[in-house]
Amino acid sequence: MPGNGAGGTGTEGEGSKMKKAVHLLISGRVQGVFYRYTAQKVATRLGLAGWIKNLPDGRVEAVAVGDVAAVDDFIAWCREGPPGARVEGVVSHVLDDFPEYQGFSITY
């Protein structure tokens, strides 16, 4: 996985807030429907860091890092997607490390 760095466990206390890092694979009609663009906006609004990209097989891949509740909200959004998307599945894995990212970006 790109950008996987060292730094903690999948959920980690930071002051009074718990952090979580997840790797997501989203399948269905998720390319060509502004999925990545809208996901970036949602993730930024939630205060998450990470990235999202299209895969050659038609899926979308993402890594999201942030407060547990915000990451869970992002996963819930990923299950619905933007108008025009037809999400058939979201596979989510909690990461053991907390990669360091500046913002939430669309990668290619």
CA 103/CA 35 separation, integer angstroms? 17
Q: Is 86 a catalytic residue?
A: no
Q: Which of 54, 59, 79, 86 is catalytic?
A: 54
Q: For residues 18 and 64, is the Cβ–Cβ distance under 8 A?
A: no
Phi-psi region of 34 (alpha: psi -120 to 50; beta: other; left: phi over 0): left
Which spans in 25-67 are helix H?
Answer: 35-45
User: What pairing do the DSSP bridges indicate for beta strands 104-106 and 49-54?
Assistant: parallel
Q: Which of 4, 29, 36, 45 is catalytic?
A: 36
CA 108/CA 12 separation, integer angstroms? 29
Catalytic residue numbers, as ranges: 36, 54
